[in-house]
């Protein structure tokens, strides 16, 4: 059910945007600390430049970055544009998902799904790893959600097995043929998680969109003069974008196939 016209959806989508901005602020902490093995709950954030503790008023999503003109109030060291970008991305995503889903359990599930994909993509870009806390934790959460009203636990389990299985087989073949590791175990667990959220149809659509995006990215990387596919961007972020495309454009994908 999609929210339709009138004042309520606009107000509620704005609320979703604000909630998303705060979640995005938390995701920044996850992106920074989780791969370093630090607690994501405490202590309060510090400026990496001067070590000064960041106060509540400096921690308002996006607004603080603008008010501080992208600099630490203590030492003037530049704050990465990544922080407000992740906040804006998450805020926009929350508003869009609210408008697409409308209120209900699927909305909560999709917001959680999105809140897992964002840190997974950025951590994979930064460190070339996908933390199990996110992929396997997300897999477990998706399976739990599939038992709630409107869920489909068989579809969810099938998606997880298909997602994990297909990539596992591909990685195995790639290693046999090329003698090099092309896809990490992190990607396999990620696609298993995506499968648990989207079911087997969504998994196939994700692989389709992911292959398209990955090929386009690989061509761009080679044209830029990189050392080719092996040093290109990791596959995880492509899978994350592809999963969202599969979730909301999957119907189009299946109609296209059936023509």
Where on the chain is the footprint of Zn ion (CB under 5 A)?
47, 49-50, 72, 74-75, 77
Per-position DSSP letters for 105-145, written without gaps between them: HHHHHHHHHHHHHHHHHHHHHHHS---HHHHHHHHHHHHHH
Query: Do 198 and 157 meet the contact criterion of CB atoms below 8 Å apart?
Result: no
Closer residue to Zn ion, CB minimum distance, 46 or 178: 46
- CB closer to Zn ion out of 8 and 81: 81
Residue closer to Zn ion, measured from CB, 38 or 77: 77
Backbone angles phi, psi at 3, to 5 degrees: -70, 135
Which of 68/112 has CB closer to Zn ion? Answer: 68
CB of 218 to Zn ion, least distance (A): 39
Kindly state the tokens that stand for 164: 């994990």
- Of the pair 77, 152, the CB lying nearest Zn ion is at 77
- Smallest distance, Zn ion to C-beta of residue 33, A: 18
The half-sphere exposure of 138 on its side-chain side, counting CA atoms within 13 A, is: 30
33 touches 40 (CB < 8 A): yes
* Nearest-approach distance from CB 47 to Zn ion, in angstroms: 3
Q: In the numeric block, which tokens belong to residue 45?
A: 């954030």
Instruction: Report in angstroms the alpha-carbon separations of 209 from 4, 112, 157.
Output: 28, 21, 21
| CA 225/CA 18 separation, integer angstroms | 41
Least separation in angstroms between residue 26's CB and Zn ion is 21
Q: How far is the CB of 80 from Zn ion (least distance, A)?
A: 13
- For Zn ion, which is the closer residue by CB, 77 or 132? 77
> Residue 69 in 3-state DSSP?
coil
C-beta of 71 vs 127, nearer to Zn ion: 71
Minimum gap (Å) between residue 106 Cβ and Zn ion: 42
Q: How many CB atoms lie within 10 A of CB 154?
A: 11
Q: Which residues contact 154 (CB under 8 A, 6 or more apart)?
A: none
């Amino acid at each position: 059910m999609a929210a339709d016209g009138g004042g309520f959806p606009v107000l509620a989508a704005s609320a979703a945007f604000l909630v998303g901005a705060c979640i995005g602020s938390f995701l920044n902490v996850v992106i920074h600390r989780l791969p370093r093995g630090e607690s994501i709950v405490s202590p309060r954030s510090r400026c990496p430049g001067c070590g000064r503790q960041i106060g509540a008023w400096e921690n308002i999503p996006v607004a603080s970055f603008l008010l501080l003109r992208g600099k630490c109030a203590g030492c003037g060291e530049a704050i990465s544009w990544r922080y407000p970008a992740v906040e804006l991305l998450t805020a926009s995503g929350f508003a869009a998902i609210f408008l697409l889903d409308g209120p209900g359990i699927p909305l909560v599930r999709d917001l959680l799904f999105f809140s897992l994909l964002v840190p997974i993509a950025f951590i994979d870009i930064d460190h070339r790893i996908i933390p199990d806390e996110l992929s396997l934790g997300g897999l477990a959460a998706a399976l739990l959600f599939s038992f709630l009203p409107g869920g489909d636990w068989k579809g969810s389990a099938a998606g997880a097995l298909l997602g994990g299985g297909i990539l596992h087989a591909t990685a195995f073949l790639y290693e046999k043929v090329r003698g090099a590791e092309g896809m990490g175990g992190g990607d396999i667990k990620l696609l298993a998680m995506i499968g648990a959220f989207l079911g087997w149809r969504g998994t196939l659509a994700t692989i389709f969109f992911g292959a398209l995006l990955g090929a386009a990215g690989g061509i761009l990387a080679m044209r830029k003069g990189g050392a080719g596919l092996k040093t290109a961007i990791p596959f995880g972020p492509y899978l994350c974008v592809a999963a969202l495309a599969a979730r909301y454009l999957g119907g189009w994908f299946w109609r296209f196939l059936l023509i």
